[in-house]
Amino acid sequence: MDCLQMVFKLFPNWKREAEVKKLGYKVHGDPFSTNTRRVLAVLHEKRLSYEPITVKLQTGEHKTEPFLSLNPFGQVPVFEDGSVKLYESRAITQYIAYVHSSRGTQLLNLRSHETMATLTMWMEIEAHQFDPPASKLTWEQVIKPIYGLETDQTIVKENEAILEKVLNIYEKRLEESRFLACNSFTLVDLHHLPNIQYLLGTPTKKLFEKRSKVRKWVDEITSREAWKMACDQEKSWFNKPRN
């Protein structure tokens, strides 16, 4: 059991909330949202406390005030650190990783200009090459059924073909490196986790499994304790309604 788990287990709720308020971090979001989970994963990798504030996506709370005053684009999550208010999950993860670079897991590889550029390049690849088809596949196969909507198999087929091409490139890269940016786990790998986790519960899982290097990489990153915590609503989210 790690230190954060011990805190959750041993601290009464009022003490836990006092510790969170002392640190001052707030996460407005939904614990099942891929973008919210991306931020939670970094917080757990860094062993940081935070106050989770539930935004009810199914009722459209994110498209109304007072949430729109936090993020005028009406999307979760929003991260608050005192007067600093951030939205866009990848910007939030980088902020946390920079601020707490000496704490917990080292998620940035900034030893040189070259390593920094490689890290940034692969973060861009995740955001612009992997995420578009992966998000569409998650929406069609995971989210739409929750809302009682029918999965469009044509869209699934089209985006699996796109994702296959991306994973072919990943397979080649992972023959040279344990992780995508370098030989250690970084934000690059972490940013992939939310969509991968959901897709492992769908037929799209086969795309990851039939590539040996990709399969090994997926197994390693999804087995991280911080990620398991981020996916566990009881451990990562107090599920308190907005005051």
Answer whether residue 2 is part of any domain. Answer: no
Lowest mean pLDDT among 76-90, 174-188, 198-212, 228-242: 228-242
Q: What pTM was computed for the model?
A: 0.88
Whichever domain contains 84, its CATH number is 3.40.30.10
Residues 170 and 174: their CA atoms lie apart, in Å, by: 6
Span 128-147, mean pLDDT? 97
Answer whether residue 6 is part of any domain. Answer: no
Q: Are residues 94 and 123 in the same domain?
A: no
Q: How far is CA 62 from CA 47, 52, 66, 137, in A?
A: 28, 15, 9, 23
Q: Are residues 101 and 15 in the same domain?
A: yes
Q: Are residues 122 and 222 in the same domain?
A: yes
Does residue 9 carry a pLDDT above 70? no
CA torsion through residues 222, 223, 227, 230, sign: positive
Answer whether residue 55 is part of any domain. Answer: yes
Q: Which two tokens stand for residue 53?
A: 């504030």
Q: Are residues 72 and 101 in the same domain?
A: yes
Q: Are residues 60 and 123 in the same domain?
A: no
Residues 120 and 167: their CA atoms lie apart, in Å, by: 19
pLDDT at 11 (0 to 100) = 42
Which amino acid does the sequence have at 156? V
Give me the number of domains the chain comprises.
2
15 pLDDT tier (thresholds 50, 70, 90): very low
Q: Are residues 94 and 171 in the same domain?
A: no
Q: Which domain holds residue 212?
A: 113-228
Q: Give the CA count within 13 Å in the CB-facing half-sphere of 231.
A: 14
Give the dihedral of Cα atoms 233, 236, 238, 243; nearest 10 deg: -110
Residues 33 and 36: their CA atoms lie apart, in Å, by: 5
Does residue 4 carry a pLDDT above 80? no
Does residue 189 carry a pLDDT above 70? yes
CA torsion through residues 15, 17, 21, 24, sign: positive
Last residue of a domain, one of 106, 127, 145: 106
Span 94-101, mean pLDDT? 97
Q: Are residues 26 and 58 in the same domain?
A: yes
Answer whether residue 160 is part of any domain. Answer: yes
Whichever domain contains 172, its CATH number is 1.20.1050.10
238 pLDDT tier (thresholds 50, 70, 90): low
CA torsion through residues 117, 120, 126, 127, sign: negative
Does residue 17 carry a pLDDT above 50? no
22 pLDDT tier (thresholds 50, 70, 90): low
Answer whether residue 233 is part of any domain. Answer: no
Residues 172 and 118: their CA atoms lie apart, in Å, by: 16
Beta bridge partners of 29: 54
Answer whether residue 241 is part of any domain. Answer: no
Span 149-176, mean pLDDT? 98
Greater pLDDT, 178 or 23: 178
Which amino acid does the sequence have at 65? E
Last residue of a domain, one of 106, 139, 157: 106
- What tens digit of pLDDT does each residue of 56-74 get? 998 999 999 999 999 999 9
Strands 84-87 and 78-81: antiparallel
Q: Of 42, 21, 151, 52, which Cα lies nearest the Cα of 104?
A: 42
Q: Is 238:27 a contact under the CB 8 Å cutoff? A: no
Span 210-230, mean pLDDT? 98
Average pLDDT of the chain is 90
Last residue of a domain, one of 68, 89, 106: 106
